[in-house]
Structure 1
Amino acid sequence: MESQPLIESCKGSTKPSSQQSISYKSILIWFFRKTLWQRKNVYILVTLLIPILYLLCYCLVGLNEPNYKYAKEVIESIVKEERQGYLVYSDYCKIVDRDPYKYEIMMLFNDTVLQPCKPYPPLTQVHYDSSIQRYLLSVDPIAFPKYNVKHSFGCCYNGVERISDDYIELTECQPFTSRTELSNTTDSIIVSCQTDHERIYINGHPTIPERYDVRQRLEHWAQKDRGKRVPSVLMIGIDSTSRLNLIRAMPKTTQYLYDNDWFELAGYNKIEDNTFPNLMALLVGYNLSTVLKHCNPYEINGLDQCDFIWKLFQKHGYVTAYGEDAVQINTFNYMKRGFQQPPVDHYLRPYLFVAEKQLGGFIHDYLPDCVGFELEAITVYRYAQEFANRYLNNSFFGFFWTSTHSHDTISQTRSMDEYLKEYMQGLVAQGILENSIVIFFSDHGLRFGPTRDSWSGYFEERLPFLFIWLPEFMRQAYPEFVDALRVNRKRLTTPYDLHLTLKHILSLTGRVGSQEDLGGAKDCPQCQSLFKPIPLNRSCADVSIEDHWCTCRTFKRTTDKILTRLAQHTVEHINSLLANGSYLNRCEPLQLNQIQHAYRADANAFDPRHVRIYMLTLTTLPNYAKYEATLRYDKLQPKHNKIRLTGSVSRINSYRGYIGCLGRDPMIRYCYCRNQLRKSYSETNYL
């Protein structure tokens, strides 16, 4: 009698009862999970079992359409449940969604609060007067009593003039009383006030002055647009901040983004080690080797030859700006030649170059913290906001980058949480988000120290955060972009994709023929705009990510006999880098000290069976360095080619305070100077 309902179902019963539904669902779930327990590859199993399960449902719940849909819903709900806990899940890529609050990380995390740079407000202020199209500099009568001035005093201001990236001059100090107009030929100023006995005040003000040539460009292209609405682009980046650390250190900011329908790209994977190559992939579409060939940053005028994305926007009628804090380690200047010509219309570096020297205050973790009356990072954020406000009704492209509150610590960024949440709210209140695409992002997570040395830190280093704001008029005009961004939240994405998204945005203006006319990302032919659905079956190899930087694999500890050979190969590789040129006579050869950790990757669905991928953490002598390397072992290759190192070898313990005989050369991470020719240098870790 108990079998009767099943027999009736096979004959085509119209609809299962609720009791039967529960029973059938239980049977399906049990069958599915029981089988999964015996298999390694969940996704392939799902693909193979779906026809079998449909056939099973054919007998369990009948032939009719309602029961067919019911069976399909059961299967899809199980598959969805199995995929929870992953940022990306496919045959080609599985990125685990890790807990940002793991004990191994939280034991290193401290609450920090935003401290004011001065106990009193600035004596002077500037604001733009649109009626005269100039900035006004004035003494703030409300702040004046705080200075307790008992004698008469006078104030003057110097204009900041850029000669080159590393040579800035100040004009003669111009006196003023309570208020004065600033010339539009002046980009920024340093203000000082003094009595007959002492200087009582010094501060600086960066500005976005009106420029005739810029205004002409904007008006020319606005006439061509014939009333068409053209989106602006505002990029705000934070160095060394993983997706998980954004959640951990900036919960209010992150929740604000989630609550206000910003689009997260949770599978955003870096493509190289440090800031420079990751930003060059984004801004130029090149990997590091291509950059060195076409626009070598170590040569004079090298970077000026690069086809930066802001040049493309400028060429097509946008006003451009770029600002970055921590002048000594700026992305395009640290150990590089920088720009010979200003790279954009409004360039913040000259001001901060002077401000750090004349206004610099507290140094936090070897980086400048305050310049004058505010944090240097806040100076960059304010400059970005002022730039967007000044060109609110025009087309603009702004790129702004900060590292002073994030570069070498997981905790300090916590102090900026409330500020950045309010900052985002301010962009809304001022109408900036109504016409602007905003990209809030990072380059990588922490690369050194105890946080990085954890298993969580391995993945955090490789998975920075990325959020995109799309203004309402674009959501209405391009609903397919909204759909694509939602799909792409859990797809593998890269800085190359972001580069192509920027070109896609420019193609929407009608100022270029098509996106294809703007070119692709040279070093990632299969990458694409994030406004189009990313293929689910995308692998790291498809998007030019070496195994060493790829987070698509899961690793398990191993004691394979090959490990010592792999470790020796890694050390030999490092020594080969030091065995030529000026390094040969200055650096000691390294020796393998110890293999600390060894892991072997689980194979993805279509990995060749004869290839194994290993990740090692090892230490060397005599420099007591800790390195991380990823290697492929191919059984079918000839003996001398069986082992191949992928990506570069990462130095993951700190070598701060040691610059040695190589100066600022990046090879210092590998070099132990002969005769211990070492000296202290505070910027060593910022390579």
Structure 2
Amino acid sequence: MRDIKSIILYSRCAKSLFIVICITLYILLFTYFGNQNDYKSFEAKHFMENKEDANTTRQPKSTTANIVEEKYFVNTYGCHMEAMKPLATRVLPYIHRLSTVVCPRVQLLTTKIVQGKNYLFFNHSVPELRSCCGVKYLTDVSCAYEQFIRKDDVFNKRIGQQYFRLSTKRRYLEVGTGVQYLWIRCSAYGKMIYNDTLFFLPPPPPPTKKENRKPRTHEKLSVMILGIDSLSHMHYLRSFPEVATFIDRLPHTEFWGYNRIGRNTYANMLRLLTGRSPKELNGTCHSGNKTFDRCRFLWDDFKAAGYTTSYGEDSDQHDILTMHGRGFKKQPTEFYLRPVMQNIRQRTHYEARTLGKLYISMECTAGRLYEDVLYEFIYKLMPHMRQKPSFSLFWKASGVHDYFNYARTIDKDYVRILRELQELGIMNHTLILLMSDHGLRFQGTDCEGVDFTQTFQGMEEISQPLLIALYPEWMTERFPLAMANLQQNSHSLLTTFDLHETLKDVLHLEQLSDYQVTHRTFSLDNDRGISLFLPIPDERNCTTAQIPSHFCLCFKLRQISPHESSVQKAAQFVLDSINDLIKPYPQCQPLRLVKVLAAYNLSGRRQKNIKHAIPKAPYYPRTTRKGEKVDYVASDNDGRAVHKIRVRLSTRPGEGRFDASVVLRPRMRLDGPVTRTDKYKSKSYCVNDYGIEMFCNCL
């Protein structure tokens, strides 16, 4: 008979307990040493994971007629763009559910239009006003409104002031007719309780009986650009599940090869709106002129064709055409939100933020977020879109530009907008581009740890913005060849130059007939801008599309050791180029290199030489300095020769993070602009130069 010791040692229970203890110790040790990894090992793991993901990712659903290999978004003769996973393992730690941002101040008044007259409507009961503002009687509240009009894109002009008091007997106050902008203030007991900017956009006159009897024809196609700043295609798939589900039930095409062509919103959208690059505009209509009044934009063409035109953004300080210039002296479109947003920023703006370690800060006016003002603008214009052909551009930047997780909070907002467009019948005669300009370039305080933009996938996503086209079903029936081309181009390399040509075609629908499309296809060149109603040539690459190598997703990136001599020399060359650029600005401190965070070989897959290729225009020539001849041959981790490198580096002072692509041979030179991936606005307050501010750390 076994003794007690033997029973304890050799029993099944003891063996099981021993195994559990061993597994627990293994997990604890693995977790401990795993957490000791520095930035370099984190980046290396992320790079390898995406390399594996590219081989296993299934191609998202698409209406394209092409059969595309599963691991590529684009797989043509001129471009191989590897697929990404929206929910790759290394992305998951950055995803958090944000608390709703509430603007805490009272929304005392709203606007209403009744029988063509504009009214301010008192929006609260007396008990609510007592609770929020300590007001006992409505008669204790005295108010004044100032009407203002737009002078130009920098200044508004006040044209009158009226005083009034709130009353329980009268909840409406008539203020005028037509388009009106009002700045309103209310106070009680010597304290301001309401400060807001409101606007009126009257609906169009009702159609006559004759117009009501006349059936709606499709002679003209309206255009709506619904833009969401800093939204990559992958981030759309992560953040807009309800929008994606809604769109799946509609005729649409999702474009997987849409590649950014410029550093920021201005550079990308200017190509869409004018068909020209910023440099080309500076050499022509914008030369020596701080406004864009002499430049021709797409809305000018649509206006000349009898369309109603509208343009609105949920900011005036960081909007597309005034952030780096003075915008327009003459109002560019018939309906224009900028005067409202300008008055909000100057007179009624304040900030609200969520609580906690992972917080966000948003801009408000009274009880509304900036985005609510943009949504109000869109909804008030829908009666006009319903009745008359229209061209509209609505651009949202607040929140999504700065915070990784904010996009998820506006999913329902855009479903409501799309549903309203559908229910009002506007979708039945409108081409809608749901799009962005680039992916997230900065990370805010809604995430912790290493910035998402510093990961390999974060770097790649910056250059793959969202683009989805929604169109009426009758277009496929009326223009079968043009729409087949549109769907086939869903897996072609595209830029905003192509979108410009596409929207020009909308003005001339007769050009989309099968006969015209066939005729135009025979004479098609491999140009930088091609209408999506025509077939994008398989030979197109980043050179012919004029996409700088630094933004080009057709390259297969292969990691290089940051300690390679070629990498260190390239990083120092980038730093010297930046310091040469800021040298004429004594208020900017010279930068010094802290660390090369990562490096990649851009020469692993050379783009094929295409006949009739358009030579690539130089970008930011001021940042290019003459480099030394390179008499060495570097190699990447796979043993391939290196001729072109992308480096990611950190600098001081200012803790800057920069990315740049450098050609090594025969002489070093920058291949495209240097980009920055950390927030720098508060550090560059001493300069007001678009080309300098991202490099300047003020003394």
Residues in 2 aligned to 1:618 and 1:154: alpha-carbon distance in whole angstroms: 57
- Paired position in structure 1 for 2:272: 282
1:577 aligned to which of 569, 581, 586: 581
What pairs with 1:150-229 in structure 2 (closer than 5 Å)? 150-151=136-137, 152=139, 153=141, 157-174=145-162, 177-184=170-177, 186-193=179-186, 200-209=193-202, 229=219
Residues 437-492 of structure 1: per-residue CA shift (max 9 Å, x gap):
11111111111341111100111110110111112333332223332222111111
Letter matched to residue 398 of structure 1? S
Which residue of 207, 220, 225 corresponds with 1:235?
225
Indicate the SS of the match to 1:551.
coil
The match for 2:421 is 427
Q: CA distance change for structure 1 residues 325 and 647 in 2, over 3 Å: closer, same or farther?
A: same
Aligned counterpart for 1:269 among listed residues 255, 259, 265:
259
Distance in 1 between residues matched to 2:533 and 2:467, nearest whole Å: 14
How far residue 291 of structure 1 moved from its aligned partner, in angstroms, is 2.2
C-alpha distance in 2, partners of 1:569/1:115?
44
Amino acid at match of 2:548: E
| Alpha-carbon displacement from aligned partner over 1:123-170 (angstroms, at most 9, x marks no partner) | 4333444xx444444335x75653246422565543231122222234
After TM superposition, the structure 1 stretch with the greater mean CA deviation from structure 2, 604-613 or 539-548, is 604-613
- Alpha-carbon distance between aligned partners in 2 of 1:103 and 1:655, rounded to the nearest angstrom: 29
> Partners of 2:689 and 2:360 in 1: how far apart?
16
Q: After alignment, is 599-608 or 485-494 more displaced?
A: 599-608
C-alpha separation in 2, matches of 1:300 and 1:167: 18
In the alignment, the residues of structure 2 paired with residue 367 and residue 337 of structure 1 have an alpha-carbon distance, to the nearest angstrom, of 27
From 615, 631, 637, the equivalent of 2:646 is 615
- Structure 1 residue ranges without an equivalent (≥5): 1-78, 217-224, 516-522, 635-640, 678-687
The secondary structure found in structure 2 opposite 1:329 is coil
What residue in structure 2 maps to residue 460 of structure 1? 461
User: Which residue of 552, 555, 569 maps to 1:565?
Assistant: 569
Displacement after TM superposition at 1:379 (Å): 1.4
Distance 1:628 1:104, change over 3 A: same
User: Match for residue 408 of structure 2?
Assistant: 414
**For residues 477 and 134 of structure 1, what CA distance do their matches in structure 2 show?**
42
- Alignment map for 1:88-487 (pairs within 5 Å): 88-118=74-104, 122-129=107-114, 132-140=115-123, 146-148=128-130, 150-151=136-137, 152=139, 153=141, 157-174=145-162, 177-184=170-177, 186-193=179-186, 200-209=193-202, 229-296=219-286, 300-363=289-352, 368-449=362-443, 450-487=451-488
Superposed, which structure 2 residues align to 1:73-88 within 5 Å? Answer: 83-88=69-74
What is the match of residue 550 of structure 2? 548
Pairwise CA RMSD: 3.4
**Counterpart secondary structure, 2:94:** coil
AA at the equivalent of 2:263: D
The 8 Å contact of residues 325 and 377 in structure 1, kept in 2 or not, is answered as yes
Amino acid at match of 1:572: D
**Matches of 1:372 and 1:307 in 2, distance apart?**
37
Q: Is 1:242–1:442's contact at 8 Å kept on the other side of the alignment?
A: yes
Structure 1 residue 370: Cα displacement: 2.1
- Distance change (3 Å), C-alpha of 1:325 and 1:228: closer
Q: CA deviation at 1:203?
A: 3.9
Q: Secondary structure at the match of 1:425?
A: helix
Counterpart-to-counterpart distance in 1, 2:179 and 2:380 = 16
User: What one-letter code is carried by the residue in structure 1 that aligns with 2:129?
Assistant: Y
Q: Secondary structure at the match of 1:547?
A: coil
SS across alignment from 1:290: helix
**Contact 2:154–2:326 under 8 Å retained in 1:** no
Return the alpha-carbon distance in structure 1 between the equivalents of residues 232 and 650 of structure 2. Answer: 25
Q: What is the deviation of 1:627?
A: 1.8
Percent identity of the aligned residues?
A: 26
Instruction: Provide the TM-score with structure 2 as the length reference.
Output: 0.73
Deviations 1:318-349 (A, max 9, x none): 12111112222222222422221211111111
Change (3 A) 1:623 1:390: closer
Structure number having the greater helix percentage: 1
How far the C-alpha of 1:665 sits from its partner, in A, is 5.0
Label 1:532 to 1:501 Cα distance change in 2 as closer, same or farther (>3 A). same
Q: 1:436: Cα distance to partner?
A: 1.5
**Could you tell me how far apart the structure 1 residues matched to 2:474 and 2:147 are?**
40
Change (3 A) 1:531 1:358: same
**What CA deviation, in whole Å up to 9, does each residue of 1:81-120 have, x standing for no partner?**
x810321112321222211222333212221244443587
| 8 A Cα contact 2:321 2:327, kept in partner | yes
Per-residue deviation at 1:660?
A: 5.4
Larger deviation, residues 604-613 vs 552-561: 604-613
Query: Once the two structures are superposed, what CA deviation does each residue of 1:161-206 show, in whole Å capped at 9, x if it has no partner?
Result: 1122222234433356533555345432234455676655444432
Moved more, 154-163 or 323-332: 154-163
C-alpha distance in structure 2 between counterparts of 1:653 and 1:362, whole Å: 22
Q: Which runs of at least 4 in structure 1 moved beyond 6 Å after TM superposition?
A: 608-611
Paired residues of 2:118 and 2:178 also in contact (CA < 8 A) = no
Q: Which of 626, 636, 641 matches 2:657?
A: 626
Instruction: Write the distance in 1 (CA, Å) between the matches of 2:437 and 2:597.
Output: 28
Number of matched pairs: 563
1: CA distance, partners of 2:245 / 2:83: 17
Q: Deviations over 1:241-273 (max 9, x none)?
A: 111111112222223223333321121111011
- Counterpart of 1:47 in structure 2 is none
Give 3-state SS (helix, strand or coil) of 1:103's partner.
coil
Q: Distance in 2 between matches of 1:546 and 1:629?
A: 11
